[in-house]
Amino acid sequence: MEADYVIVGAGSAGCAMAYRLGEAGESVLVIEHGGSDAGPFIQMPAALSYPMNMKRYDWGLESEPEPHLGGRRLVVPRGKVIGGSSSINGMVYVRGHAMDFDHWRDSGADGWGYADVLPYYRRMETWHDGGHGGDSYWRGTDGPLHVSRGPRENPLFEAFVAAGKQAGYEATDDYNGQKQEGFGPMEQTVWNGRRWSAANAYLRPALKRANVGLTRALARRVVIEEGRAVGVEVKRGGRIEVIRARREVILAASSINSPKILMHSGIGPAAHLAEHGIEVLADRPGVGGNLQDHLEVYMQMASKQPITLYKHWNLVSKALIGAQWLFFKRGMGASNQFESAAFIRSKAGIAYPDIQYHFLPIAVRYDGKVAAEGHGFQAHVGPMRSKSRGRVSLKSSDPDAAPKIVFNYMSHPEDWEEWRRCVRLTREIFAQDAFAPFVKHEIQPGADVQSDDEIDGFVREHAESAYHPCGTCKMGRADDPDAVVDPQGRVIGVGGLRVADSSIFPRITNGNLNAPSIMVGEKMADHVLGRDPIAPSNDQPWVHPDWETAQR
């Protein structure tokens, strides 16, 4: 078993790289521990709460007890299936804000500013506005990744946007276009009624080429000889073997597993590796550090009118929706039901949005257990740029063992202030006239939760991960002691080895991480191939003219 390029992980970035390297005629072998993504639980968009909670498709990881969240352990779903987490996620498509990428560039990731990444977003997309307006100039027209919008037929989707405008916020036709800030339609990686994962968009077409292969195995460590990566040690069918890479090994195994594999390979914080008896080949203290995520709470309202998805929360209705989807790929089953969104700034003096909303016309938990009493709706809300940082480290020297994950959520005092603003601003939106026909009362947090201490207590008890871990193999300049890879994804201090997934993000982006992860795979493929990157774009994104003095 050998190839020019061995990619570890058939997730969002790995699939995109396999497609682009294969298209260029290179020989590529992708290693994926998980199995097939066939079947309705993954392919049917409305069934999104199932695969995330199925051992068959998920690595089953959880955090250590989080010291600032009352010692709760939070689940950390990561896709163990072809398509990776793009096969089990909520299918929400957000590029990130232009200023996120300018921050990457300014912190040492040269060539990763917004002007540099926008052409790759255009290259990867085929955008369908569904007749809902939007900004086609900023979007892609012929990429492998289909991006669409839900039908937005439920009146609550419009009420959410109308309430935002009544509260004095901006509206946006397309948060992935020139203007992220504001209230508007949400986008999803759904095409022809199916989840359009990285497996459907990139891996299946790539595997039609004779020069691209896929093997099912567990990657244990990178084999390094004389300072250069030459292959990957894997466990397959109970046997340990080595898959050789003639040119490069590319880790695209997630922000949890990529640093874990690096550490088992002798690349990481020297003292930590020595504790576990691992020979240190490159002392990179940043491996596993800089761990970031988004937290969110569900602000839930009881509904006066029986128009929410709760009416479908019974076996008969679910069976009908499932049958309609199975035979026609249409109906309720063909959307993730996140069809309205917003990005707002939490106070004056913040240049671009730091709060994100997903609006859902049912009050329910992510794991599919109804939390609400009958008809209700909810906004998933949380701050975008927490200053808290965590770490992924090793629990043992056994590569089969799960790593130790400490997010250290809410460890920075400013996080609590942001959260209080978040809860209060959300209540103000639900109090607008547009929601008057629909809001009966507040289910969660509940009208009695008002003081700073009460809101803090609610967040400590109820905040959940939005499942956006990143940052653990930070991209930066070679002289930055905390950087793990350079701006071309090359692991600093080791030849023939790159990382290309969400672990290289210097800082978390605004919104969901699937789109920027795929973009990283697209752009890194050009670096691997030694091509000049696509010419930068001169397009200027919208920034609120009064951001210094006004919150909205």
Over the stretch 289-347, which tens digit does the pLDDT of each residue have? 999 999 999 999 999 999 999 888 888 888 999 999 999 999 999 999 999 999 999 99
Is-catalytic flag, 468? Answer: yes
- Tell me whether residue 333 is in a domain: yes
- E strands, 157-305, in order: 182-185, 187-188, 190-191, 194-195, 212-216, 218-225, 228-236, 239-251, 267-268, 282-283, 295-303
* Known binding residues for FAD: 81, 89-92
How many of the other CB atoms lie within 10 Å of CB of 162?
Answer: 17
Domain range for 167 is: 151-185+295-383+411-462
Would you say residue 485 lies in a domain? no
What is the C-alpha separation between 59 and 318, in angstroms, rounded?
A: 27
pLDDT digits (tens, 9 = 90+) for 479-498: 999 999 999 999 999 999 99
Provide the number of structural domains found in the chain: 1
Domain CATH number, residue 170: 3.30.410.40
Answer yes or no: is 25 within a domain.
no
Q: Is residue 78 part of a domain?
A: no
The pTM assigned to this predicted structure is 0.97
Angle 89-92-93 from CA coordinates, rounded to 5°: 120
Tell me whether residue 175 is in a domain. Answer: yes
In a domain, residue 270? The reply is no
pLDDT, residue 387, reads 97
Burial class (CB in 10 A: 0-12, 13-18, 19+), 307: middle
pLDDT tens, 103-146? 999 999 999 999 999 999 999 999 998 666 677 899 999 999 99
What is the pLDDT at residue 105?
98
Inform me whether the pLDDT recorded for 517 exceeds 90: yes
* H or E element, residue 28: strand 28-32
Q: How many Å apart are CA 331 and CA 497, to the nearest integer?
A: 45
Q: Is residue 306 part of a domain?
A: yes
397-450 pLDDT, tens digit per residue, is 999 999 999 999 999 999 999 999 999 999 999 999 999 999 999 999 999 999
Residue 85: inside a domain: no
Cα–Cα dist 420/426, whole Å: 10
Residues in CB range of 10: below 8 A, 6 or more apart: 18, 30, 31, 32, 34, 82, 83, 84, 198, 199, 203, 214
The residue annotated as part of the active site, out of 103, 146, 294, 468, is 468
SS (H, E, C) 209-227: CCCEEEEECEEEEEEEECC
Could you give the CA distance from residue 102 to residue 174 in angstroms, rounded to a whole number?
Answer: 20
Which amino acid, one-letter code, is at 449?
Answer: V
